[in-house]
Structure 1
């Protein structure tokens, strides 16, 4: 079964999906040879799908193929994931218009034209990934996350490849700390992940219902969970719910990006980053995405890395 999506506005598909290989392989989101593969669960069964694309940023066409089924519900679920993964519901045109009033962002837009943040398809996956990334570099975070996915995820065959469905909360709730320690998680991170999984699996924590709540309510809910602070909650708002009026100012990479573009390389305080970002209002999250990508671009051009 196959369906095609036309992007609503500029979309650089390759640039947007590059994050799935930028810091290492993601076995739950395989990107190789111009094809993106992932799995979606419908009525208790996992289905693998493939995403291919054609055209440039102004005429991008996305083709989604779900082999082995003719069920419309499965295709609809795959298309919904693709919309999130490609950030299709984000108002990039409005951000570009606002960026014209900011010299730094205005200069980055032509260089990164069509780049969109990817939104994680499932909130549980986003939060577990955030724990993996706490206080380590992203390459190591991808490594341990990949080990977790392969150990506790479900293998799904698609297009001659194997993709792993991200582990469900019910399965991670039964995991043991020693199993995660063997993957190089710290004791605390192992406890955080298992504790989160148990809250979700028991119904104590309804992650799917968070999207109906305000930023402050979500922050309060998430920061009450052991191991989850403001940093995690703000990234969740931005990269799971797609909230635009959020700046994860406590993130070191974000502070470095602001320092690179606005403070002549000096590292600004979290408060200084928040003050500057506040001027961008509902476009803060997109601005942060472009600043981070812009710094990586300049580091690569100069032979460095971020």
Structure 2
């Protein structure tokens, strides 16, 4: 992907079927989100790279994402890291022509895709953050999940202030790995979730779990099995992480409540679809289950 630094500014070309407006609407929905801000149609995001906190602002010009660095001139390596992060965040490398062709021939997806055309899976490139967020959200409502995440980030994440707003990065592996279960219970984490998150941070630090190790698995099924072998990562969490952090288009969180509610609405059912019905529907989305799920979530 081409990039050019000019006076602390970076330009990243986007695919023709990319809608910044639709992705922005998705990012604006969770008002409790603490790891980025949307201000006047611009996205403010803080990353830590090479022991340095880098704040950047994402804006849109037709055909390009414009990235501005208001506080620092990034190094060439940092520019590449930011470019990779943004590409993964908005799934810019994915060719969606086959998905749109499939969706336009599917009675459930067709109206949704037409309404939100250009939306891409807005991911969580940071692997540990993606796993932690999936674990935090297990079996609790979304509002409380965001509350727990906010407490964790405020307590243990590094921060930087710019124009009166505070920006945070997700707590580092080293910090989380050094915590005790009691530390997280003070933030109202359950003992089990605290054990899972601390244990996973330790595994990643030990080199026993990483994006690369997952990606080295040859098939989707092997990647899924590798993740579910880790304590705290069940099938839904594995699918969520594969979908949101590893850009796996076949990931399908079949037990997801939001997916069930979206299909209930689209099919005008007086009940949620059964697992058998979900599996049958998903056969029509083969290869693109993650995108079908993401668009169905958006329909809610």
**TM-score, length of structure 1 as denominator length:** 0.88
Deviation of 1:159 after TM superposition, in Å, equals 5.8
Deviation of 1:171 after TM superposition, in Å, equals 0.9
Aligned to 1:205: 209
Mapped partners of 2:287, 2:183: distance in 1: 42
Mapped partners of 1:189, 1:180: distance in 2: 9
Matching of residue 248 in structure 1 with residue 253 in structure 2: yes
Mapped partners of 1:132, 1:79: distance in 2: 28
Deviation of 1:72 after TM superposition, in Å, equals 1.6
Secondary structure of 1:244's counterpart equals: coil
Paired residue for 1:292, among 272, 293, 297? 297
Paired residue for 2:286, among 281, 284, 296? 281
Q: Report Cα offsets for 1:112-153 as digits up to 9, x if no partner.
A: 111111121111110000011101122221121111111111
Paired residue for 1:14, among 10, 21, 25? 21
Paired residue for 1:108, among 86, 106, 112? 112
Matching of residue 121 in structure 1 with residue 128 in structure 2: no
Mapped partners of 1:30, 1:100: distance in 2: 34
Which deviates the most, 255-264 or 124-133?
255-264
Aligned to 1:64: 67
Contact 1:169 1:197 in 2 (8 A): yes
In structure 2, do the counterparts of structure 1 residues 60 and 275 end up closer, same or farther at CA, with 3 Å as the change threshold? Answer: same
Matching of residue 132 in structure 1 with residue 136 in structure 2: yes
Aligned to 1:301: none
In structure 2, do the counterparts of structure 1 residues 265 and 85 end up closer, same or farther at CA, with 3 Å as the change threshold? Answer: farther
**TM-score, length of structure 2 as denominator length:** 0.90
Contact 2:124 2:244 in 1 (8 A): yes
Mapped partners of 1:212, 1:17: distance in 2: 32
Contact 1:13 1:53 in 2 (8 A): yes
In structure 2, do the counterparts of structure 1 residues 204 and 6 end up closer, same or farther at CA, with 3 Å as the change threshold? Answer: closer
Contact 2:181 2:191 in 1 (8 A): yes
Task: Give the number of aligned pairs.
Answer: 291
Q: Report Cα offsets for 1:158-209 as digits up to 9, x if no partner.
A: 5653211111111101112222122221111111111111111222323333
Mapped partners of 2:75, 2:161: distance in 1: 18
Secondary structure of 1:250's counterpart equals: coil
Which deviates the most, 106-115 or 83-92?
83-92
Contact 1:249 1:271 in 2 (8 A): no
Mapped partners of 1:173, 1:40: distance in 2: 20
Q: Which runs of 5+ in 1 are unaligned?
A: 297-306
Aligned to 2:158: 154
Aligned to 1:299: none
